[in-house]
Amino acid sequence: MKAVRYHSPSDVRVEDVDTPTPGPGELVIRVGANTICGTDLRIVRGLKKKGVIAPRILGHEVAGVIEAIGEGVDAYSPGDTVGICPTYSCGGCYQCQRGRVHLCENALVLGHQTDGGMAEFIRIPARAVADGVVVSYSADLDPAAAALAEPLSCIIHGQRFLNVGVGDTVLVMGGGAIGLLHSALAELSGAHQVILSEPMEFRRNLGSQFGVSLAVDPTQENLEELVLAATNGQGADVVIVCIGIPALVNQAMSLAAKHGRVSLFAGFPAGEMASVDPNLVHYRELTVVGSSNSTVPDYQQAMALLETGRIVVDPLITHRFSLEEYDQAVETISAPDAIKVAIIPTP
Ligand SMILES: [Zn+2]
Ligand SMILES: [Zn+2]
ipTM, interface predicted TM-score of the complex: 0.96
CA of residue 107 to ligand 2 center, whole Å? 6
Average of per-residue pLDDT across 267-279: 93
pLDDT band (50, 70, 90) for residue 87? very high
Closest ligand to 147 CA?
Answer: 1
Residues 6 and 124 in one domain: yes
Residues 19 and 137 in one domain: yes
Residues 284 and 303 in one domain: no
Nearest by Cα to 152 from 344, 304, 339, 320: 304
CA of residue 258 to ligand 1 center, whole Å? 32
Ligand 2 being an ion, which residues bring their Cβ within 5 A of it? 89-90, 93, 96, 104, 106
Domain that holds residue 235: 162-290
Phi and psi dihedrals of 39, rounded to 5?
Answer: -65, -40
Domain-located, residue 12? yes
Instruction: State the pLDDT at residue 39.
Output: 85
Average of per-residue pLDDT across 122-144: 96
pLDDT for residue 10 is more than 90: no
- In angstroms, the CA 327 to CA 331 distance is 6
Q: For position 183, which CATH number holds? A: 3.40.50.720
Indicate the pairing of strand 108-109 with strand 87-88: antiparallel
Average of per-residue pLDDT across 297-320: 98
Instruction: State the pLDDT at residue 340.
Output: 97
Q: In what order do the strands lie in the sheet with 56-57?
A: 11-16, 2-8, 56-57
Nearest by Cα to 86 from 135, 32, 45: 135
Residues 6 and 72 in one domain: yes
Indicate the pairing of strand 27-35 with strand 340-343: antiparallel
Q: What is the mean pLDDT of the chain?
A: 96
Q: For position 135, which CATH number holds? A: 3.90.180.10
CA of residue 292 to ligand 2 center, whole Å? 14
Instruction: State the pLDDT at residue 42.
Output: 85
Amino acid in position 341 = V
